[in-house]
Amino acid sequence: MTQRIYSLLVAVLLSLNLQIAEGQKHIIDSIESHLSMQNDSQKVRMHIELSRLYYGSSVISSMQHAKNAYDISEKNNFIWGIADAENWMGNVYSMLTDYNNAMDNYLKSLAKRELIGDQIGVASSYNNIAILHSEYSNFEKAIEYLNKAYEISEAHNDEESMGINMNNLSVMYMEIKDYENALKCGMEALEINEKLNITEGIANISTNLGDFYKFMNQYEKAKEYQRKALNIYLELDKLEGIIIAKTSIAEILILENNFPQAKLLLIEALNNANQLGAKNLISLIHSNLAQLYELNHKYEKALFHFNVFHQLQDSIFQQNKANVIFEKQVIFETENQLKEIELLEKNKSLHKIEISKQKYIGIFIIIISGISFAIIILSGLFVQDRNRNSALIQAKNIELYYSNKQIEESRMELITLNSTKDKFFSIIAHDLINPFNSFIGLSEILYSNIDKLSNSDIKKYSSWIHTSAKNLFHLVQNLLHWSRSQVGKLNNSPKYLNLQDLVQELITLSESQIREKDIAITTNITKDTKVYADQDILSSILRNLIGNAIKFSHPGGKISLQVTEVGPLIKLSVEDSGIGIKNKDLKKLFSLKENFSSRGTNNEEGTGLGLILCKEFVEKIGGTLSIKSREGKGSIFSFTIPTIPMSV
């Protein structure tokens, strides 16, 4: 594996007690101290954030928080939470070079993100899967996935993700020696990150551009980019980045025959990598040290570092290909014998006098060595061919595994669709037919008796028909939204919204009902209150909650809409002074099987579907819904809305 691939992967972290930067430690302590006070949805988000923060310092803590997020999400059926947790578990397995488990978790996460329409998450999954494909030198497949991820990021104007995709594409193009596209993608990635002032992204891209110019034999420019990356990593206290940058500069110095400085940097990088426990990077540094000592004709030290390099490579190989342990052992022993013979050949000049005295013995040794050398080369070619075939088989196995996963997900989706269809027809049977019967009955009375009815009666019946028509429209609208959400066809395109404008628009639409009941509505929402959500979904939530508050308020009652900040969320509460809800009925509100509904203070009819829709839509935008109610005193329906993208 080349260093360009290492720069895409976080180092393997095996220690629980690695030092965490002070600023990051403060954030971790703050989140952990508030964790127990949150609801389940917030706990999931906090565990995911902790998994991300620990990712660069403690693999065990990172994995534990990802599993905590998974367990809570599974208990509450938070599909988005399970998907995020699986993605981070995949990241940790990738750090540990356990690529089989990493791929398994990435594919599970991808299937769920596709099911719930989380396009930003899908793009992230594509990116991770691409990196794993590059581990097996399947660069064309990696480029295919990275292009898919870029298309999604571009469609959602997610410039940060676009920069990451471009940087990774630059690396893949370098691997297939498409240097024109490699430079083009790298420069575009650098431009995006500099525009957004993402310092770590600038460092990552500078490292890859340094590698590019090294391949072009432009060593001064290569060192300029690598040193720029090193300075940023030192400032950010990013140990894995520091290791990669130092190793890259040392490689250039070796090419320039500046061995003393190269050796100094490699020893520093090796100390850092040992502190971090990064197998891949430790292996790479020993490989470079072996090359450095060999060029300095210090063959014993070169052989020592070469042996360490192959021991580490063998360890990683066994972890991912346990069924070829014996084959790896043969390769290791054969390559060691080859190096030992090379060392003997290079030291022959130091023993010229002794060889001349023992001429015949020397000739015999040379002949035996030559025969052994030929045998080892033939063995190496044979093993190399087997390795190549093994890598191809592994890549095909990954593709077959992914195909099987897609088939399984399709089967589960079909089961879900059938279940949804049954629920949908049940709702139509119970909740749609009755309002239509009422509508038809009232219109028939008006039509048949219009000559006999007084103007006041006509006005009364017309008013009832109008109300019935509005209720039908509202019901059909809810049914449409709910059915689309159940089959994953609901479009969720979040953007920044002015909450005051949205609420005022919905209040205006309900003005006739508000005036009819003489209800006073108050709010503390200001024109500066911004949220990040899909406008149609958020409107549907607010329309149902405000409509319910009006429906169950007494004439002359009060409704209050209040917002409070909860970290990166806004909590919006809709409070009424109406009839309230019995404790025994609270559990029925979100159950489709119960089909619970009740009449308003003016005998308004309902279907019970509105609150079910609200709960699902609130979770769709990344929030949670809660209820407080006292019979005869009124109800408070509260839900949270993100103020920034969920990925942030």
With respect to residue 545, please indicate whether it lies within any of the assigned structural domains. Answer: yes
* The pLDDT value given to residue 536: 82
Check residue 252 and give left, alpha or beta (phi > 0: left; psi -120 to 50: alpha): alpha
Give me the mean pLDDT over the 175-179 stretch. Answer: 85
Q: What CATH number should be reported for the domain holding residue 612? A: 3.30.565.10
With respect to residue 549, please indicate whether it lies within any of the assigned structural domains. Answer: yes
Q: What does pLDDT average to over the chain? A: 77
* The pLDDT value given to residue 247: 92
Asked if 158 and 196 touch (Cβ cutoff 8 Å), the reply is no
Percent of the chain with pLDDT over 70: 70
Q: What's the one-letter identity of residue 209?
A: L
Given a cut of 70, whether residue 132 has pLDDT beyond it is yes
Q: What is the pLDDT of residues 464-509, one digit of tens each?
A: 777 767 767 766 776 676 666 655 556 678 889 999 999 998 888 7
* Domain tally, the chain: 2
With respect to residue 566, please indicate whether it lies within any of the assigned structural domains. Answer: yes
Residue 428 DSSP class: I
* The pLDDT value given to residue 305: 84
Write down which residue in 220, 243, 274 finishes a domain: 274
Separation in Å, CA 322 to CA 100, 316, 332, 347: 11, 10, 15, 38
With respect to residue 593, please indicate whether it lies within any of the assigned structural domains. Answer: yes
Q: What CATH number should be reported for the domain holding residue 231? A: 1.25.40.10
Q: What is the pLDDT of residues 593-628, one digit of tens each?
A: 555 566 777 666 555 667 887 888 888 888 889 899
Which residue is listed with tokens 């992967």? 9
Q: 71-85, 261-275, 367-381 — which is least confidently predicted?
A: 367-381
Q: What is the pLDDT of residues 281-293, one digit of tens each?
A: 888 898 889 888 8
pLDDT band at 437; cut points 50, 70, 90: low
* The pLDDT value given to residue 19: 39
Given a cut of 90, whether residue 455 has pLDDT beyond it is no
With respect to residue 616, please indicate whether it lies within any of the assigned structural domains. Answer: yes
Helices of type H across 428-533: 433-449, 455-486, 499-509, 511-517
Given a cut of 50, whether residue 16 has pLDDT beyond it is no
Which residue is listed with tokens 């791929």? 103
pLDDT band at 334; cut points 50, 70, 90: very low
Percent of the chain with pLDDT over 90: 16
Residue 16 DSSP class: S
- Name which residue leads in pLDDT, 120 or 477: 120
Write down which residue in 248, 274, 300 finishes a domain: 274
Given a cut of 50, whether residue 567 has pLDDT beyond it is yes
Give me the mean pLDDT over the 270-276 stretch. Answer: 81
Given a cut of 90, whether residue 441 has pLDDT beyond it is no
Q: What is the pLDDT of residues 348-406, one digit of tens each?
A: 555 555 555 555 555 555 666 566 556 666 655 555 655 566 556 666 666 666 666 67
With respect to residue 211, please indicate whether it lies within any of the assigned structural domains. Answer: yes
With respect to residue 248, please indicate whether it lies within any of the assigned structural domains. Answer: yes
Considering the entire predicted model, what is its pTM? 0.44
Given a cut of 70, whether residue 2 has pLDDT beyond it is no
The DSSP line for 85-150 is HHHHHHHHHHHTT-HHHHHHHHHHHHHHHHHHT-HHHHHHHHHHHHHHHHHTT-HHHHHHHHHHHH
* The pLDDT value given to residue 332: 37
With respect to residue 205, please indicate whether it lies within any of the assigned structural domains. Answer: yes
The CA distance from 447 to 53, in Å, is: 70
Write down which residue in 274, 299, 325 finishes a domain: 274
Q: What is the pLDDT of residues 497-522, one digit of tens each?
A: 999 999 998 888 777 788 888 899 99
Full domain range(s) for residue 543:
491-642
